[in-house]
Structure 1
Amino acid sequence: MTELRITAVTSSYGRGERVLDGVDLTVGAGELAAVLGPSGCGKTTLLRVIAGFVAPDSGEVALGERIVSGPGVHVPPERRGVGIVAQEGALFPHLSVARNVAFGLTGAKRAERAARTAEMLELVGLGAYGDRMPHELSGGQQQRVALARALAPRPALVLLDEPFSALDSALRAGLRSDVRAALRTAGATAVLVTHDQEEALSTADRVAVVRDGRIAQCGTPEELYHRPADPWVASFVGDAVLLAGTADAGTATTALGAVRVGAGASGEGTVVLRPEQLRLHPVNEAAEATEAADATPTAHGQITEVRFHGHDALFLLEVPDAGRVTVRSSDAPAFRPGDRVAVSIAGAGTFHRS
């Protein structure tokens, strides 16, 4: 297993437009890290720098103790020991599944190639498919073969370039789990490049969120979701409720009421909550009249849209002074667009000072 270290890497287009701007990233040996970001943020360029297809303007890339890119050093892609799984597998159409997997094992004896090929096909659940041709496989099976081919030469690092993007949603979830399991069994260090937040959070040990050529935040999926570095990261990594607020002594005052935040929070800023932290309650005229005299009123709003997802539903509502607010619930009453509701908050939020 090999550690990947990227230090102060910059890269620009030919006209001088900077794509990567001082990127630092460490992927531990045996870890699966996701590089997550919107289109045009630089994540694909970062993958190409790691693979050796692009030489960075400055900075250093190291695999273990071996520097593969740096001042005066640029190891070509074929000598880096890096396996790549592309978006659509990119299998050789004229070669059988077994010969595709064995393609990178040119230095091994025939018996060793055959044994390693069989081992890799078993690893990805395609042990009986060696004699088939790529066109006889489904899209998901082709991606499994591509992974087996990438792992066969025992690379120092595996790069996965949005490998599930061409698959339907039902197939993606199962294949992500299988690929993760195969990488763990092989003990491979891997980097997954994706723009899919769910994919990154559910698959990776560590997620690096890229914005405008920089790492905006890097941490475990739990850290990114529950403790985002700023409101932009919070909104990009899952749904977020952003509320203007004033914090003092661990509590922020917002249009939805008081929210617990970090003990050191103070001043004007933005409170971040997740939609599942909000609760909806029926409202009737008597409750509204009683609440009007209360010193700490519950916020009220009107539902404008309901998006049913089976396991839960998203309720979009307009709340005075808060604007549009999103609530996720799996057990909310059968509210409909136009209903007035009361909103309460469960748990703590994060506070980001202006």
Structure 2
Amino acid sequence: MPVDPWAIDGLQYSGLEARTADALMAMGNGSALGSRSGVRPGDPGLTVTLAGTTINCSAGVAVVAYPGQGIYRVPFPASVSPGTYTAPHATLNRIDLVYLRVWDNTVDASGLTKGDVVYLAGTPSASPVAPTPSGTVIYVPLATITVQSVAGGSGASVSTAVRPYTVAPGGILPSSTAPTGLYVGEYYDDGTGLLRWNGTNWRQVSPYTPLSQPQVSQPGSFSPGTYTDFPSVNWPPLTFTVPPSGLVWISIGAAIQNTNSGTSTGWVTWRASGGVTEASSEANGVSTYGSRTYATRRVLRNWTPGASVTLTPQYLFSSVGALTSVTRADNGLLTVEPVAAP
């Protein structure tokens, strides 16, 4: 079946043909001819605010998609108001919805052909939720208004969290929640980093910044026989947050010496505290035995995502002699390298 390509002289195009062709301009939604509705990232337009009980929406533009109808490009060159919000309930809170609606008589039989900003009051409830427009409604949500009960003070506040964003095909979508992975190479930014869809899951691709804490100096003396924290003035602890993957590489290195005897040992290690606990041991340190060693130990840990962890450098000498010339732990470096989710 032949179609009317856009744009050829002499052809006549219906609104549906024009909207369907415009679907190429916005991010897909996973369906044939479908697009993602929303406002543009970085565009302050179509922001809902309150002036007393009056609802205002600033000038702006949006894309409104509807199944089988392509996209409606809706510009508002000036601010608009859908009116005032409904009076508070005596004892129950309520969540209202403000949305941009397109009336298209050929689709919704509304008898109208226009775009407007609409207010829809929610239902007072002990656990209120925002209402959903019913019937054939071509719309995109712009904001919710939480209205406190009279008993709760009758206050009202606006949230734009329900407002979706859309970008051009291949664009990077800002979103606090992961969108549907549509194709290998799709990107989105969750506010903490860039993620890429690899066909199976979202993988963090923006590199984490390694954190390091160098040793400042040696203590005035070393205490022998047990793992001992470096005084923070000599080697400060390092605090970090475990990434979503739970995986971190931890490295510790130093110039270690203990020639007090042929069998004297020396260790530089770290201990973990806070959201995760791990003691110093041979598993996370570097050592010397009756000699001098320059080394780094790097270990991988799988800890609780989001945990705040403090790594404290420690030393252990079996015996001690003269500082630096016999017993030494200097030029240390403690490093944390968060690992992106696989």
Bigger Rg over Cα: 2
More strand by share: 2
- Higher relative contact order at CA 8 Å, sep ≥6: structure 1 or structure 2? 1
- Normalised by the length of structure 1, the TM-score is 0.31
- Normalised by the length of structure 2, the TM-score is 0.31
